[in-house]
Structure 1
Amino acid sequence: MSITTAPADFATTSAANPSAPPPRPRSRLLARDAVRLGTVGLRTRPARAILSALGIAIGIAAMIAVVGISASSQAKLNAQLASLGTNLLTAQAGKSVFGQDTKLPPDTIAKVGMLDGVESASGYGDLSVSVYRSHLTDPSETGGITVRAADLRLPGTTGARLAAGSWLNAATANFPAVVLGAKAAERLGVASPGAQVWLGGRYFTVVGILEAVPLAPELDTSALIGIPIAHAQFGYDGSPTMVYERSSDAAVESVRTRLGRTVSPQTPDQVTVSRPSDALAAKKAADQAFTGLLVGLGSVALLVGGIGVANTMIISVLERRREIGLRRALGATRGHIRTQFLSEALLLSALGGVLGAALGVAVTAGFALLRGWPVAIPPVTLAIAIGATLLIGAVAGLYPAVRAARTDPTTALGG
């Protein structure tokens, strides 16, 4: 053990008070000696040290895994939005001043398509008919599927992709053909095109199945038929329920402000205009709030780990009274003893922090890879987590360190 002493200024002392004894040199531990002494308790009682570090590791792992999994999910969502584009606007009928449902004009899609900055426009109209797997299906088992008359440009505007089959065209839109959304196909038990479903009192042939549509999730539970067949068979008047519009990124806000007046010049306030990415942003904010709750739970676990460190250190002080008394008798100061036990607490916490960080990263990476997400762990999270463990270790070890420093060497050796 190396001990450094601060040189005394004897000339100054003698000049101030010639009869005063020379000042006692101050002694302090070097950093390497403090670390070496701090490992003594950990090496002599490894099982207890590991269990105490594990308490902190669980809290740290929980915090990092929660934040990492949430960040990975958001990275996946952001990548999807970037590939699909966030320049999609929707318009649908709102409520009148008397709270009644309104309808969009039949020529809405055509008028929206003529707006400056609009690249494509499409939409669909809801039909008051149901779809079943067959005519023998219980009429009450609708499966939450909505039949909709779809504009032929719908996939290009919304970014919808086909999982199987083909989309409606000018020919099939006139015949009993239907394209099913991803969830609709699953609920109807249709795995591939060519099957028939009972729609509006007659059989329709499934010509295509869509993949999930992130920016238009309502299409996932839809059975989409052509507008001509909807008009001929079910009396569809051409009034769209939902209109989709895609414009250049630079023109999005300009189109958004003009969309309501274009659709309904007399009552633009009865047209609801929104952007699907805004809803996804709201969902992302809700996920972040949930993440905050889980981080709070992880912090509680971290606090419990800190209490475990404090308990371990207090017991260590009680069990090592003779060691403390012997060191004091050999010249160790209270500062030496305090530094020793505080170093031990910090090392114990650092062990738990590093172990917890590694475990949290492993859990996050494993979960993200299984889901096909990119692994995204904010580096600041790791820094905050390890920093929190050291802070908790310092706080938890402070009282035991002070208590050890106050141990009377005579009493300790005699007891």
Structure 2
Amino acid sequence: MTSTRAVPSDATAGVEQRTRGALTGRPRAAALVRDGVLTARAQPVATATAALVVALVTLVTLLTTGRAAATEAEVVASIDAVGTRLVVATDTTGEAGIDPATVAAIAELSSVTWVFGLGPATDVENVAAGHAGPAPLRALVGGLPSDVALAGGRAPATPDEVVVGSSAATALRMPDVAGALSDGARRYAAVGLVEGTGPLSFLDDGALRMAAPDEDVPLRYVYVLAASATHAQDVADAVRALVVADAPSAVDVSVSSGALELRDVIAGRLGASSRQTMAGVLGVGLVLVTVTMLGAVAGRRRDFGRRRALGATRSAVVSLVLVQSSCAGLAGAVLGAASGLAVLSATGVAWPTAQFVAGVMVLAALVTLVGSVPPAVAAARADPVRILRVP
């Protein structure tokens, strides 16, 4: 009697091919990821527990370290005002002869926000108000800085136009800042009102005229605003090197060292406290994630034993556990970040920066991965014969 051998159909052949692929011990990465995701869904309790731990870690970090980081940013920003970033080059004798080209040279520095120079002062009076005044008038080299508010009118466009400070306008009896000023030899048209703030408030007491491009005005002061307070000392060193003067030894370059020291102390203390809090929260989260994943792996020990008996490699088992924990970590990080930002908004606290929030989420996910490594290695190194032994 002739025996017949069934020829497998295409579907059966496909199943056999996938089965052989699974038993080779080297499944594709996509298959491992898919299997890990399915495992995470098949163990909802373990996955949800790990996700909850990560969410709590992210939430607590944002409510503690995130709040401190936002507070630190606000405090440092308030200290980082114009006063801590302002560098001033002063002609201490009046005979240093600072070249106006110095302003253009300093403006080329990438760490400088703005720079302007002021020439010597001359007294001017209001021609139309019985020579009311006087008020000091200085030539402006470099244009009005952005930290000087134009309260009325416009900026001067020609050397014959001036802007008047708010206090000087009162002394000159020019409430509408319209009219002419004279220094006895030249007349100037008042076209605008300016108000200086902070260390530039002295501009309220005088008037400014735009220096002509070819006018050789010896500067008495050069004001430079550094891009940040941390760069102020570097900007001061650069200003010393770039100042062109007939008597460089008579030029004094100063920076607010006391404010800079206060900024560094506050930022250092707040930052150190935030880092310690974050380290403690992440450490506790690491322990909890490790314990949670140990329980999840213990519940699947027979499954891992069957996989190892069928030819799965230890790296494949480790990958499955890490993929499962990654799913829980990502879900928990997103949930914790959303909850933390919602609580901060509800309590009226400013949000930390987007980079900080993203960094906390990444750290929480990494904590999940690191905490899952010991359980994953334990599952991979377990003897499948002992696991599958029938008593």
Q: TM-score, normalised by structure 1?
A: 0.46
